[in-house]
Amino acid sequence: MLLSTIDGLVNFIFKFAALICLAPLWVLGLVTFKQILLSQVIFTLICKFIKTGNTFLNKKVYKWYNIHTPNCEDDLTSILSKKQVFCLVTGGSGGLGEALSLELLLKYGKSKNFNLIIVDKVNLKNELIENHDNVKFIHFDLKEDVLGLIEQLPIAMKDENSAYKILINNCGIRHKFAEFTEIWSEKELQSILKVNVIAGANLIEHLNPDYLVTVSSILSLVTPKNASLYSASKAAASAIHNAFVQIGSKKGLLILPGQLKDTSMFANIVNHRQFLAPLVDIQKLSKKIVLSIENLECSTIIDPFYGHFIALIDKLPYWLNAILRDYSEIDKASD
Ligand X SMILES: *[C@@H]1O[C@H](CO)[C@@H](O)[C@H](O)[C@H]1NC(C)=O
Residues making contact with ligand X (CB under 6 A): 178-179, 182, 226, 332, 334
Smallest distance, ligand X to C-beta of residue 178, A: 4
Residue nearest to ligand X according to CB distances in the complex: 334
Nearer to ligand X, 138 or 178 (CB): 178
Q: In angstroms, give the least distance from the CB of 323 to ligand X.
A: 18
Specify the residue, 184 or 305, whose C-beta has the smaller distance to ligand X: 184
Starting at the edge strand that comes first in sequence, how are the strands of the sheet with 163-169 ordered?
Answer: 135-139, 114-120, 84-90, 163-169, 211-215, 251-257, 299-303
For residues 228 and 300, which CB has a smaller minimum distance to ligand X in the complex? Answer: 228
CB of 325 to ligand X, least distance (A): 12
Whole-number Å distance between alpha carbons of 107 and 127: 17
Between 56 and 180, name the residue whose CB sits nearer to ligand X: 180
Q: Which is nearer to ligand X, 161 or 181 (CB)?
A: 181
Amino acid at residue number 220: S
CB of 173 to ligand X, least distance (A): 18
CB of 52 to ligand X, least distance (A): 43
Residue whose CB is less far from ligand X, 179 or 205: 179
Shortest spacing between CB 225 and ligand X, in angstroms: 6
Nearer to ligand X, 182 or 186 (CB): 182
Shortest approach of ligand X to residue 264 CB, angstroms? 19
